């Protein structure tokens, strides 16, 4: 309960701080941006404080001196929002005028305590409020000592003693104002830090979302494109063999069903990425849907052979030593290359070589088909419409610090080659 309420209070304070910072324009929180009620409160404080202070000092409260002085000081406070220094100087001039005219006999500085505090706490760098407060206060004190000593003929020790008390009061007022101003600055810095942190969080969330969308797009392209290609080839086989060989048609249908089942499992695994931790889809046995890796290369080659393309698979090294991201990238590159070979190459044979060593993994997928317009997004003919095949493979490999090239080979055929630094990958 306590934690919940403290969290609510902290959130409310943060929101108010951010709003105040936006309202200040320059990131500061100067004095004077408060409701009119605050102005009335400060004027009331002055109207009450001046007579009370006069009584405490032992001076008489007069209708012709004490109350008019309090009224003038309160009236000058109305200027403090736009012209705080003018309000301070006008207040000190009013005090001097009333003291010189002997309309009041108490205080040279303390009647203007409110405006001294407001000017000293002003955080606007263009007004130099603290300097004006200190400078005007020292001038007022010096004038008071000189007046009481030379004009009123007061004993110097007594004059200095009385003015010394006011000097201490002024020093305390300025110190409190500076502390308040520093607190305002700290609060503004905290608000700015919260705003920056929130902006950075949003940018990071956007970047991660973009990466996840790109990853999902790659997976969908690889799974769906490969599945539809193989199923399409098998359906053509069924259509051609249905009248002549029912056994061959049944075999093609079985292959299509197997490919479809594999695609469903891959899509289920992909959809799991979009779910929350407590919403993960599971297979009938309670285990998460499998993720494509190099253990499925033999099955991938078998499915591709069922389309009539001779596939030679040559693996050197231990695929089990590869990290999951590298293994998945290799599988998807091989899958995409075989899919495009079946769809576009008109090839009869393709060789897949996978070489794994402690430092890197190298891929070579070479077929004996044609090399023009092989991948969507390449070439110059109708097949060169913008697509995602070769771009997706390059993005996968580049994300792991590797390189990928694709193009026609001398003497005929087409080759896709990739190299991924195994030790250089950092999740």
Q: What is the pLDDT of residues 319-362, one digit of tens each?
A: 888 887 788 888 888 988 888 888 777 788 999 999 998 888 99
Q: What's the Cα-to-Cα distance from 79 to each of 48, 117, 126, 147, 382, rounded to whole Å? A: 19, 14, 17, 28, 76
Task: Determine the pLDDT at residue 361.
Answer: 92
Query: Is 23's pLDDT higher than 70?
Result: no
Task: Determine the pLDDT at residue 419.
Answer: 93
Query: Is 66's pLDDT higher than 50?
Result: yes
Bigger pLDDT: 43 vs 240 = 43
CB 358 within 8 A of CB 421: no
**pTM score:** 0.41
**Domain map (residue ranges) of the chain:** 11-203, 304-427
Task: Determine the pLDDT at residue 386.
Answer: 37
Beta strand residue intervals within 10-110, DSSP E: none
**Average pLDDT over the chain, rounded to whole?**
74
Query: Is 406's pLDDT higher than 70?
Result: yes
CB 104 within 8 A of CB 65: yes
Q: Looking at 93-97, 284-288, 327-331, which range is the least confident one?
A: 284-288
Query: Is 182's pLDDT higher than 80?
Result: yes
Task: Determine the pLDDT at residue 237.
Answer: 64
Task: Determine the pLDDT at residue 212.
Answer: 65
| Two tokens, residue 143 | 């004038």
pLDDT confidence tier of residue 140, bands split at 50, 70 and 90: confident
End-to-end CA distance of the chain: 39
Q: Looking at 55-69, 74-88, 178-192, which range is the least confident one?
A: 55-69
* Proportion of the chain above pLDDT 90, given as a percent: 7
Bigger pLDDT: 189 vs 225 = 189
Query: Is 298's pLDDT higher than 80?
Result: yes
* Residue 109: closest CA among 136, 130, 84: 136
3-state secondary structure 3-19: HHHHHHHHHHHHHHHHH
CB 133 within 8 A of CB 88: yes
Fold of 304-427: Heat Shock Protein 90 (3.30.565)
**pLDDT, tens digit, for every residue of 361-401?**
999 999 988 755 554 444 333 333 334 567 778 888 888 88
174 C-beta neighbours (distance < 10 Å), count: 19
Query: Is 278's pLDDT higher than 70?
Result: no
d(CA 221, CA 211) in angstroms, rounded, equals: 15
**pLDDT, tens digit, for every residue of 99-128?**
888 888 778 888 888 888 888 888 777 888
d(CA 89, CA 79) in angstroms, rounded, equals: 11
- Given the DSSP bridges, would you call strands 349-356 and 310-316 parallel, antiparallel or unpaired? parallel
């Amino acid at each position: 309960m306590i934690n919940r309420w403290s969290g609510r209070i902290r959130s409310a304070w943060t929101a108010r701080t951010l709003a105040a910072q936006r309202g200040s324009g320059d990131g500061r929180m100067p004095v004077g941006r408060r409701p009119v009620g605050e102005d009335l409160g400060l004027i009331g404080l002055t109207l009450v404080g001046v007579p009370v202070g006069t009584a405490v000092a032992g001076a008489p409260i007069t209708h012709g001196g004490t109350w008019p002085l309090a009224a003038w000081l309160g009236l000058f406070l109305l200027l403090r929002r736009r012209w705080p220094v003018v309000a301070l100087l006008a207040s000190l001039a009013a005090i001097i005028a009333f003291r010189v005219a002997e309309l009041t006999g108490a205080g040279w500085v303390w009647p203007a305590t409110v405006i001294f505090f407001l000017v000293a706490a002003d955080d606007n760098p263009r007004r130099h409020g603290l300097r004006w407060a200190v400078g005007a206060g020292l001038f007022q004190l010096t004038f008071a000592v000189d007046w009481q000593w030379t004009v009123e003929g007061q004993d110097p020790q007594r004059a200095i003693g009385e003015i010394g008390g006011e000097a201490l009061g002024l020093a305390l007022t300025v110190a409190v104002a500076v502390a308040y101003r520093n607190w305002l600055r700290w609060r503004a810095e905290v608000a700015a830090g919260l705003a920056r942190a929130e902006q950075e969080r949003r940018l990071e969330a956007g970047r991660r979302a973009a990466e996840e969308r790109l990853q999902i797009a790659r997976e969908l392209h690889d799974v769906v494109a490969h599945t539809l290609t193989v199923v399409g080839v098998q359906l053509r086989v069924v259509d051609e063999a249905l009248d002549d060989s029912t056994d061959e048609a049944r075999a093609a249908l079985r292959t299509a069903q197997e490919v479809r089942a594999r695609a469903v499992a891959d899509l289920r695994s992909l959809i799991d990425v979009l779910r929350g931790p407590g919403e993960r889809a599971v297979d009938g046995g309670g285990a998460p849907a499998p993720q494509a890796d190099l253990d499925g290369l033999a099955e991938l080659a078998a499915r591709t052979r069922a389309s009539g393309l001779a596939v030679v698979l040559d693996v050197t090294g231990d695929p089990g030593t590869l990290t999951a991201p590298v293994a998945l990238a290799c599988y998807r590159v091989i899958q995409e290359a075989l899919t495009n070979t079946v769809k576009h190459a008109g090839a009869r044979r393709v060789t897949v070589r996978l070489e794994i060593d402690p430092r890197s993994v190298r891929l070579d997928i070479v077929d004996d088909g044609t090399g023009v317009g092989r991948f969507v997004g390449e070439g110059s003919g109708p097949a060169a419409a913008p697509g995602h095949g070769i771009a997706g493979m390059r993005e996968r490999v580049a994300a792991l610090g590797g390189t990928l090239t694709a193009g026609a080979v001398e003497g005929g055929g087409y080759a896709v080659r990739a190299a991924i630094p195994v030790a250089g990958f950092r999740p």
